[in-house]
Structure 1
Amino acid sequence: MTDLKTKSARTRTRLLTAAGRIFAEKGYQEATIAEICEQAQANIAAVNYHFGDKRNLYLEAWRHAFNDELARYPADGGVSRQASAERRLAGRIESMIRRIADAQSYSFAIVHKEMAQPTRLLADILEKEINPQRLQMFALLRECLGQNASEQQLQYCHASIMGQCFQLLRLKQMQQARPQRAYPSDLSDIDAFAAHVIDFSLAGISAIRSQNLPKRLSV
């Protein structure tokens, strides 16, 4: 019985991994159960047994990818809670970039496909899994910007950071689609890219914080 359970668990994991990869590449509509089963070396009956249908496989594949990526690259970047807000924010940015850059990471690409071709299937799970991460990022931005920062400044800083990170995803996808083509951005040095995004973001945040400081009256 134990061997059967182990075999069943391995089949489920293979299906989740294959599904994550194919959903990330093709999106929900274009991906097929047949292709997923072929890559996972499983049969359609296994999909029905473990997930019931394509919709549930899609949800569980995203959840599996998301949690697997966080296990490899913790959201806090391994930075201590006692560190400065700037250092903690840097850790979160670096974690995000490394998750996006990893060839075995699929959750961001699935979300990107979902944005381009909405199914609304991921709405609830994204709210449950991603929103806590988003709120923690906003809390850190508030600490870094200071209490005088406006809600608009907070939103713009968050959008700026996410835009830089998602630009990496877009470049990664273009290179995967056309590996022989030369692109202006070199993605081979992820350390350098992460350092740039962190330095650029923190410098911008510092400038905004300085602008928000009360002006001293001249004597």
Structure 2
Amino acid sequence: MTDLKTKAEKTRERLLTAASRIFAEKGYQDSTIAEICEQAQAKFTSVNYHFGDKQTLYLEAWRHAFNQELGQHPPDGGVSQQAPVEQRLAGRIKSLIRRVADNNSYSFAIIHKEMAQSTRLLADILEKEINPQRQQMFGLLRECLGQDASEQQLQYCHVSIMGQCFQLLRLKQMQQDRPQRTLPSDLSDIGAFVKHVVDFSLDGIHAIRSQTLPQRIQV
């Protein structure tokens, strides 16, 4: 690899890192190429060279952040595929919460900003990158709930788990926006939060499964 190519790749990496951080903090509309280049210590023209425009940089910055986070916190939570299904679901919940809680994670914060002020730029890339993760979660929930569970029960369980995880993101953003404000939740003990969400979710799943099993026996 030539020195010139190495330098170009390092510049691209710095731009992606700076862009993901700034987009997460300010959203697409309020972020500027000038600020991104300043933080990346890169020339303004380097964005055009590597990405072409701000929209492409936005998409690639999100993808970069998302893949970095999956590398740091693998989606299976380090649980073997041969483990019991409840352990595998717990591992996936743990990974999701760890990614949300990590101060160097930006993909969820970018999505949060996108929900508040939509650009519609992320729709395709989110479907492509996140849908496989969602389908794996659905598969685990189906296995936990049993084949007699309805599609509505499956969807509600998924929403309940994701809602708990993203509540942490909301509290985290509130703490960043208003550092002097006392929040109703202590974010320092992420391990305790993971345990609560796992226990709460599994207990709920057990309750739903116990309601569906008798119906099958009576048929």
Name the TM tier (shorter chain). over 0.9
1:85, CA displacement in angstroms?
Answer: 1.1
Q: Structure 1, unaligned stretches of length 5 or more?
A: none
Which residue number corresponds to residue 57 of structure 2?
Answer: 57
What letter matches 1:183 in structure 2? L
Which residue number corresponds to residue 81 of structure 1?
Answer: 81
What letter matches 1:31 in structure 2? S
Q: TM-score, normalised by structure 2?
A: 0.97
For residues 20-39 of structure 1, the aligned pairs below 5 Å read: 20-39=20-39
Alpha-carbon separation, structure 2, partners of 1:111 and 1:182: 25
Q: Deviations over 1:51-106 (max 9, x none)?
A: 00000000000000000000110011111011111110100000000000000000
Please state whether the residue corresponding to 2:121 is helix, strand or coil. Answer: coil
Which residue number corresponds to residue 109 of structure 2?
Answer: 109
Alpha-carbon separation, structure 2, partners of 1:67 and 1:88: 21
Alpha-carbon separation, structure 2, partners of 1:85 and 1:120: 36
Alpha-carbon separation, structure 2, partners of 1:20 and 1:154: 33
For residues 140-219 of structure 1, the aligned pairs below 5 Å read: 140-214=140-214
Which residue number corresponds to residue 96 of structure 1?
Answer: 96
What letter matches 2:187 in structure 1? L
Please state whether the residue corresponding to 1:42 is helix, strand or coil. Answer: coil
What letter matches 2:52 in structure 1? G
For residues 7-18 of structure 1, the aligned pairs below 5 Å read: 7-18=7-18
What letter matches 1:191 in structure 2? G
Which residue number corresponds to residue 5 of structure 1?
Answer: 5
Q: What's the RMSD between the two structures over aligned residues?
A: 1.1
What letter matches 1:112 in structure 2? H
Which residue number corresponds to residue 67 of structure 1?
Answer: 67
1:179, CA displacement in angstroms?
Answer: 1.3
What letter matches 2:14 in structure 1? R
1:6, CA displacement in angstroms?
Answer: 1.3
Please state whether the residue corresponding to 1:82 is helix, strand or coil. Answer: coil
Q: TM-score, normalised by structure 1?
A: 0.97
Q: Structure 2, unaligned stretches of length 5 or more?
A: none
Alpha-carbon separation, structure 2, partners of 1:126 and 1:59: 10
Alpha-carbon separation, structure 2, partners of 1:127 and 1:97: 20
Alpha-carbon separation, structure 2, partners of 1:150 and 1:54: 43
Please state whether the residue corresponding to 2:119 is helix, strand or coil. Answer: coil
Please state whether the residue corresponding to 2:214 is helix, strand or coil. Answer: coil
Which residue number corresponds to residue 119 of structure 1?
Answer: 119
Q: Deviations over 1:158-216 (max 9, x none)?
A: 00000000000000011111112211100001011111101100110011000111256
Alpha-carbon separation, structure 2, partners of 1:174 and 1:15: 27
What letter matches 2:154 in structure 1? L
Alpha-carbon separation, structure 1, partners of 2:150 and 2:98: 30
Number of residues of Structure 1 aligned to a counterpart in Structure 2:
217
1:114, CA displacement in angstroms?
Answer: 1.1
Alpha-carbon separation, structure 2, partners of 1:177 and 1:5: 39
Q: Deviations over 1:103-160 (max 9, x none)?
A: 0000011111111111111111111100000001001000000011011100000000
What letter matches 2:131 in structure 1? N
